[in-house]
């Protein structure tokens, strides 16, 4: 005997709705175990600091530890590949940075497509860079620094956390706009670069304030200017580079990504919880003290930001004739 048509339609509708119901139930139960966030730079640098700050708040909201795992190398490409190849279940996340937007143009061959293989989850913060020199260096202002660089072409060593990192790109933009010649010296993260800058082994670094601000405050490094469009509330006495090089502006940013095909319910849950953390005035104050500003938005907002940054820095790479990698 055939079932009544009305019953058949109800059963069919229920069957079609089961995947959505199971996904929602899974998202509600998420996370059931610790979540790891892969950071493509060494411990102690600006990306690591941002990730660990967020982890303190987000662990409490998720009810599970958010474990930070540092996988430095290849301008964060190694870390990105780890996440691309991970299960799309929300338990492996990526600390996304400006380097990811840069690498799309800077690297000739990548084993992944960032746009297609990483799902934007949430933005975290905007980062301030600062032109910093050893206290023994002759220049005390940006105009003096430019004059020295012009008088000594190719003799200034500019440290960075790595090729394609935000500080590297900020320095390359400065070289182009100020018409100075400096030698880029890439390191495996900010800590070793800062160590050599503190020792006077290199002369300048466009350093993230979050990893170097205490050295500036105690006088072990001399800050000349911040790279952002406006002065930093953390060091309000410092001018901006744009006050001397009109139109110059560069800043870093961090966010969270997940493997593509991560259930949209989990992406949205993470976005909501991350945004709730960033809305906490205590966390905002911690970021501000390090020269950073929280950056709240939806997954689509973050996706648009990444696309815009990818286009912007692609133009800089081409205009500055920066050699592509491998």
pLDDT in tens, 110-134: 999 999 999 999 999 999 999 999 9
Instruction: Tell me the CA distances in angstroms from 226 to 129, 162, 262, 292, one per residue in order.
Output: 6, 20, 38, 12
Do the domain assignments include residue 79?
Answer: yes
Whether 60 and 91 share a structural domain:
yes
Token pair listed for 290 = 């390090």
Whether 160 and 210 share a structural domain:
yes
pLDDT in tens, 27-56: 678 999 999 999 999 999 999 999 999 999
Return the pLDDT at 136: 94
C-alpha 83 chain-centroid distance: 15
| Angstrom distance (rounded) from CA 301 to CA 299 | 5
Does residue 66 register a pLDDT over 70? yes
Whether 148 and 53 share a structural domain:
no
- The parent domain of residue 211 ranges over 129-243
Q: Compute the average pLDDT of residues 188-209.
A: 95
Does residue 326 register a pLDDT over 80? no
Whether 258 and 312 share a structural domain:
yes
Q: Compute the average pLDDT of residues 72-84.
A: 95
| Angstrom distance (rounded) from CA 324 to CA 326 | 7
Does residue 25 register a pLDDT over 70? no
Return the pLDDT at 12: 61
Q: Could you say which of 223, 243, 263 is where a domain stops?
A: 243
Whether 142 and 83 share a structural domain:
no
Full-model pTM:
0.89
Do the domain assignments include residue 18?
Answer: no
* Residue 51 near residue 68, CB atoms below 8 Å: yes
- Check which CATH number belongs to the domain holding 39 and give it: 3.40.190.150
C-alpha dihedral sign at 81, 105, 293, 289: positive
pLDDT in tens, 142-188: 999 999 999 999 999 999 998 899 999 999 999 999 999 999 999 98
* Residue 47 near residue 256, CB atoms below 8 Å: no
Do the domain assignments include residue 55?
Answer: yes
Do the domain assignments include residue 104?
Answer: yes
Q: Could you say which of 192, 227, 243 is where a domain stops?
A: 243
Whether 291 and 205 share a structural domain:
no
Whether 143 and 231 share a structural domain:
yes
Do the domain assignments include residue 22?
Answer: no
Q: Which residues, listed in sequence order, are joined to residue 185 by a DSSP beta bridge?
A: 159
| Angstrom distance (rounded) from CA 159 to CA 5 | 73
Q: How many independent structural domains does the chain possess?
A: 2
Average pLDDT, the chain: 93
Residue entry with tokens 């880029």 = 184
Do the domain assignments include residue 154?
Answer: yes
Q: Could you say which of 210, 243, 276 is where a domain stops?
A: 243
Q: Compute the average pLDDT of residues 176-205.
A: 95
Q: What share of the chain is helix, strand, coil (3-state, %, to 5)?
A: 50, 20, 35
Does residue 260 register a pLDDT over 90? yes
Q: Compute the average pLDDT of residues 240-265.
A: 97
Do the domain assignments include residue 9?
Answer: no
Return the pLDDT at 28: 73
Do the domain assignments include residue 175?
Answer: yes
Whether 102 and 87 share a structural domain:
yes
Whether 93 and 235 share a structural domain:
no
When pLDDT is cut at 50, 70 and 90, the band that residue 24 belongs to is low
Whether 258 and 211 share a structural domain:
no
Q: Between 264-278 and 46-62, two packed helices, what is the crossing angle to 10 degrees?
A: 110
Gyration radius of the chain's alpha carbons: 22
- Check which CATH number belongs to the domain holding 206 and give it: 3.40.190.10
Whether 192 and 223 share a structural domain:
yes
Considering only residues 86 and 189, tell me which one the structure prediction assigns the higher pLDDT.
86
Whether 264 and 283 share a structural domain:
yes
| Angstrom distance (rounded) from CA 171 to CA 129 | 10
């Amino acid at each position: 005997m055939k079932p009544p048509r009305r019953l058949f339609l109800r059963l069919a509708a229920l069957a079609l709705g089961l995947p959505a119901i199971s996904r929602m139930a899974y998202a509600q139960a998420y996370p059931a175990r610790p979540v790891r966030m892969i950071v493509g730079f060494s411990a102690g640098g600006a990306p690591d600091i941002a990730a660990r700050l967020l982890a303190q708040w987000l662990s409490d909201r998720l009810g599970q530890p958010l474990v930070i795992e540092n996988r430095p190398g290849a301008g964060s490409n190694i870390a990105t590949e780890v996440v691309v190849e991970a299960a799309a279940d929300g338990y492996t996340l990526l600390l996304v940075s400006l380097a990811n937007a840069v690498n799309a143009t800077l690297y000739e061959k990548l084993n992944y497509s960032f746009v297609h293989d990483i799902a934007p989850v949430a933005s975290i913060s905007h980062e301030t860079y600062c032109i910093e020199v050893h206290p023994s260096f002759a220049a005390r202002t940006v105009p003096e620094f430019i004059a020295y660089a012009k008088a000594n072409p190719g003799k200034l060593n500019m440290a960075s956390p790595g090729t394609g990192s935000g500080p590297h790109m900020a320095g390359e933009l400065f070289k182009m706009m100020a018409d100075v010649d400096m030698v880029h010296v890439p390191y495996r993260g900010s800590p070793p670069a800062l160590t050599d800058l503190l020792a006077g082994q290199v002369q300048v670094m466009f350093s993230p304030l979050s990893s170097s601000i205490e050295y500036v405050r105690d006088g072990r490094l001399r800050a000349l200017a911040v790279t952002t469009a406006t002065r930093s509330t953390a060091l309000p006495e410092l001018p901006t580079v744009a006050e001397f090089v009109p139109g110059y502006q560069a800043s870093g940013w961090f966010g969270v990504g997940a493997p593509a095909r991560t259930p949209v319910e989990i992406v949205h849950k993470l976005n909501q919880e991350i945004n709730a953390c960033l809305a906490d005035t205590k966390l905002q104050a911690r970021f501000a003290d390090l020269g950073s500003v929280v950056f709240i938005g939806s997954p689509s907002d973050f996706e648009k930001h990444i696309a815009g940054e990818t286009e912007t820095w692609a133009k800089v790479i081409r205009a500055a004739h920066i050699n592509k990698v491998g």
